[in-house]
Amino acid sequence: MNQQLLSQLNEAQRAAAAHMNGAMMVIAGAGSGKTRVLAYRIANLVQSGIDPFNILALTFTNKAAKEMKERIGKLVGDQEARNIWMGTFHSIFARILRIECDRINYPRDFTIYDTTDAKSLVKDIIKEMGLDDKIYKPGTVYNRISSCKNNLISPQDYLKDVDLIADDRQTGKPKMAEIYAKYDMRLFKSGAMDFDDLLFKTNVLLRDFPEVLHRYQHKFQFILVDEYQDTNFAQYLIVKQLGAVHENVCVVGDDAQSIYAFRGANIQNILNFRRDYPEFAMYKLEQNYRSTKVIVEAANSIISKNKDQIKKQVWTDNEQGQPIRVHKAATDNDEGNFVSNQIFITKQEKGAAFKDFAILYRTNAQSRAFEEALRKLNIPYRIYGGLSFYQRKEIKDLLAYFRLTCNPNDEEALKRVINYPTRGIGKTTLDKLVVGAAEREISIWDMIARSQEVGVSGAALNKIMEFVTMIKSFQVDLNLKNAYDLGHHIASHSGLLKDLYADRTPEGVARYDNIQELLNGMKEFSDRKELENSESIASLSDFLIDVALLTDADNVDDGDNDKVSMMTIHGAKGLEFPYVNIVGMEENLFPSQLSLNSREEMEEERRLFYVAITRAEKRATLSYALSRYRWGQLSYCEPSRFIEEIDEQYLEMPSAPAARTAPRGIDFSKERSGFSTGYSAPKPRAHAPQETPAPVSPPPNFKKVSAAAPTSGPGLFDNSPPATADQIQPGVEVMHDKFGKGKVLSLEGEAPDIKATIFFPSAGQKQLLLKFAKLKVL
């Protein structure tokens, strides 16, 4: 191995990176230089004369692929690095499917449905079948279908699977198999694949077309898989098939960081690896270079509570470091203020940059309190995950036009834009077409040509034909214009740009700007592709494939990158920050209440916590709130069990009871105006009062009297607080904002969910939840 490369690795890393032929597995503890080893091994392969075209490197996220490519580029040059097949499972196999699609009767320009499209299709099918969508919840149904695909269970297999059928019968969803079959058929008729299909169909391709299998088996002489613990069965099998000839399969992972079991990832794959390649070489990376001793050892103490794990001892030579701080806050807003203050102070004290800080939470919904708190101190931040750029309505709308142009059978795209901007094609007309198409098992686009059969005529027919003509006019340019030029053309000629321009509200302007940004992205894309391959133009469908698989916020460069990062713990995997705040450390939040049922699920939560802690280089801070608003309602919380699970010696617990700042409802700082897009850089803002001492704790059901008080009836000027729960008793006369005077007949349920049956002379008998009804006792 190249001497210079060699010198930059430790012994264990070097051994793994220098490995040439034969299967190998690297078990790499957090922060042990896993990516480094992968990059160096690839660099070593290339320097040893292996053609980059013969190397396949699979990662889990776009981010990881990009980073790896850059690192390899630095080691062996960008030219070589570019030729390596490196990317996510989904993007690599989308690329291969596109080459081979005619074998499985898919159009070359097949579209990729994102989760929203897929769920929408499921929903339509459930509706068309006349099923109750309260029993067949589209999201749940979709998840089940998804997990089938990840386990390579086709609709036909499903019908034959007694266990699945029995399970469905038991849960009262006997039509599940039928929905799955219909869903699959509809995707096919639409020339579309969902995310899972990219793996499923690849397996079909490799199974049914030996010549294809052979070609790729020989092409990919070396296969490397990152984050192997997160692969599912479909991915496992692809790797196994492709690697079967050369057996130069290298997998890298950490069982302690397996956090995607919920989506079909299977630790079993690691065991299968031993079985499939009995002669494999095993390397363990146990030295952590990222974190302090405190963090490494605390993390070890956490993960040791798990039963399922591969033995390893992660250690570090780094300094001892500061203890893990635990903070108790009174409310979720206080937690936000604490974190934001700490960031402010730490930045001063340690001379750190904003980008050295991360706020990690279990669910995306938790970000709000932190956004507000950071804004108060003018701290710049960036939220990762959540609604991505490509999921915004205006972007999806324009993309739908693109999709329809490339693939007119794309049902979801068609439904999205056939009447947007409004062109007088209403629900009735569309329904006729959808039903007709479903009956004939053809696409809606094909159904349009036979509109008369389902009674679409007159004005409606004319409008539709105009629409068809427009799309066809776009199609003419598919091979003449590049993605950018055609994209621009479509944006203006579809009427979308004009429609958005008409809206002069700040939100409307933002939407218009987003479209411009998308077009800018297309320009960049087109220029780049044409630079790489000067003989052909960058087509619109190339762009669509790229975009469909680009989910996480990859467009980081908006000039100023010194920002605090906020993201879910899942999103933080693979990243590191000097200072990490893990927030919302509460029972039922983290660990999630959905994980309380089984040991396996709890262990996954614990691994998630392990991932969170090990993101920190210098210091980790845990915080929790005693009460927080959850789905619009105050609820009380207990500290997470995970706090106790950390060996005490590494902790700095709160000494005094948390200082109580203003509870929600009378917090004057909430009077701030302005709206949040939840995305853009924070705007400079006048300093709001930091902390308002709270005179008295209001009752839990305290609600500020809104400015939009009822305009008639008694109580107009009555600003007295609403009645507390114990004042409401059967027989008591009460006053309601809308229904007026009434008499309590009975009560049921327990606080805070007490429901009262009240008779109102003006409105009749009503059942009201006390926590919502602002009742006043007369």
Partner DNA sequence: TTAGGCGCTGTTTTT
Partner DNA sequence: CAGCGCCTAA
366-399 burial: b if 16+ Cβ within 10 Å, else e: bbebbbbbbbbeebebbbbbbebbbebebbbbbb
Our finding on whether 425 is near DNA (CB under 7 A) is yes
Cα(465)–Cα(488) distance, integer angstroms: 23
Site pattern 256..285 for DNA (x: CB under 7 A): ---x--xx----------------------
Residue number, 123 or 488, with CB nearest to DNA: 123
Size of the residue set binding DNA (CB under 7 A) = 48
Per the annotation, the verdict on 35 as an active-site residue is yes
Residue 182 CA to its chain's centroid (Å): 26
Per the annotation, the verdict on 257 as an active-site residue is yes
> Are residues 590 and 605 in contact, defined by beta-carbon separation less than 8 angstroms?
yes
Structural tokens at position 120: 């929408």
Site pattern 612..651 for DNA (x: CB under 7 A): -----------------xxxxx------------------
How far apart are CB 198 and DNA at their closest, in Å?
A: 8
Among 89, 216, 236, 401, binds DNA (CB under 7 A): 89
How far apart are CB 77 and DNA at their closest, in Å?
A: 27
Of the candidates 13, 14, 34, 196, the residue annotated as catalytic is: 34
Among 252, 460, 537, 616, binds DNA (CB under 7 A): 460
Among 21, 156, 320, 363, binds DNA (CB under 7 A): 363
Per the annotation, the verdict on 776 as an active-site residue is no
How far apart are CB 71 and DNA at their closest, in Å?
A: 19
> Are residues 262 and 286 in contact, defined by beta-carbon separation less than 8 angstroms?
no
Give CB contacts under 8 A, 24+ apart, made by 757-765: 758/734, 760/736, 763/738, 763/739
Closest to 405 measured CA to CA, from 481, 338, 497: 481
Per the annotation, the verdict on 422 as an active-site residue is no
Our finding on whether 311 is near DNA (CB under 7 A) is no
Among 8, 320, 378, 428, binds DNA (CB under 7 A): 428
The DSSP bridge partners found for residue 285 are 28
**With CB under 7 A as the contact rule, which of the stretches 59-67, 100-108, 221-229, 755-763 interacts with DNA?**
59-67
Per the annotation, the verdict on 34 as an active-site residue is yes
Residue number, 552 or 733, with CB nearest to DNA: 552
Our finding on whether 504 is near DNA (CB under 7 A) is no
The DSSP bridge partners found for residue 581 are 359, 621
Torsion from C-alpha of 135, 141, 143, 146, nearest 10 degrees? 170
Site pattern 99..138 for DNA (x: CB under 7 A): ----------------x-------x---------xx----
How far apart are CB 58 and DNA at their closest, in Å?
A: 10
Among 275, 307, 427, 683, binds DNA (CB under 7 A): 427
Our finding on whether 173 is near DNA (CB under 7 A) is no
Site pattern 322..361 for DNA (x: CB under 7 A): ----------------------------------------
Our finding on whether 195 is near DNA (CB under 7 A) is yes
How far apart are CB 436 and DNA at their closest, in Å?
A: 16
> Are residues 632 and 337 in contact, defined by beta-carbon separation less than 8 angstroms?
no
**Four-residue CA torsion sign, 434, 439, 444, 449:** negative
How far apart are CB 595 and DNA at their closest, in Å?
A: 6
Among 129, 282, 365, 502, binds DNA (CB under 7 A): 365
Structural tokens at position 481: 């214009």
Distances (CA, A) of 292 to 23, 530, 568, 578, 767: 33, 47, 23, 10, 57
Among 77, 172, 210, 426, binds DNA (CB under 7 A): 426
Residue number, 53 or 772, with CB nearest to DNA: 772
Residue number, 83 or 592, with CB nearest to DNA: 592
Q: Count of residues for the chain?
A: 778
How far apart are CB 455 and DNA at their closest, in Å?
A: 12
Q: Which helix (H) or strand (E) holds 627?
A: strand 616-630
**Mutual orientation of helices 176-189 and 162-170 as an angle, nearest 10°?**
110
Among 34, 69, 71, 362, binds DNA (CB under 7 A): 362
The DSSP bridge partners found for residue 282 are 25
The answer to whether the bond into 689 is cis (omega within 30° of 0) is no
Residue number, 33 or 571, with CB nearest to DNA: 571
How far apart are CB 394 and DNA at their closest, in Å?
A: 13
Of the candidates 109, 226, 371, 410, the residue annotated as catalytic is: 226
Residue number, 295 or 460, with CB nearest to DNA: 460
Residue number, 443 or 568, with CB nearest to DNA: 568
> Are residues 381 and 682 in contact, defined by beta-carbon separation less than 8 angstroms?
yes
Cα(247)–Cα(232) distance, integer angstroms: 20
Of the candidates 109, 194, 196, 227, the residue annotated as catalytic is: 227
The DSSP bridge partners found for residue 7 are none
Site pattern 557..596 for DNA (x: CB under 7 A): ----------xx-xx--------------------x-xx-
Beta strands in 115-202 (DSSP E): 192-194
Structural tokens at position 277: 């390649």
Residue 98 CA to its chain's centroid (Å): 25
Closest to 267 measured CA to CA, from 301, 233, 311, 224: 233
Cα(409)–Cα(658) distance, integer angstroms: 59
Per the annotation, the verdict on 439 as an active-site residue is no
Closest to 337 measured CA to CA, from 361, 301, 293, 371: 371
Residue number, 541 or 568, with CB nearest to DNA: 568
How far apart are CB 382 and DNA at their closest, in Å?
A: 14
Other CB atoms within 10 Å distance of the CB of residue 690: 12
Our finding on whether 90 is near DNA (CB under 7 A) is yes
Cα(326)–Cα(90) distance, integer angstroms: 40
Look up tokens 């009434």; give the residue. Answer: 742
Our finding on whether 154 is near DNA (CB under 7 A) is no
Closest to 674 measured CA to CA, from 376, 397, 283: 376
Of the candidates 257, 331, 405, 614, the residue annotated as catalytic is: 257
Cα(679)–Cα(737) distance, integer angstroms: 37
Of the candidates 415, 615, 618, 619, the residue annotated as catalytic is: 615
How far apart are CB 774 and DNA at their closest, in Å?
A: 13
> Where in the sequence numbering do the catalytic residues fall?
34-35, 226-227, 257, 615
Binding site for DNA (CB under 7 A): 60-62, 88-91, 115, 123, 133-134, 139, 195-196, 259, 262-263, 362-365, 385, 419, 422-429, 460, 549, 551-552, 567-568, 570-571, 592, 594-595, 601, 629-633
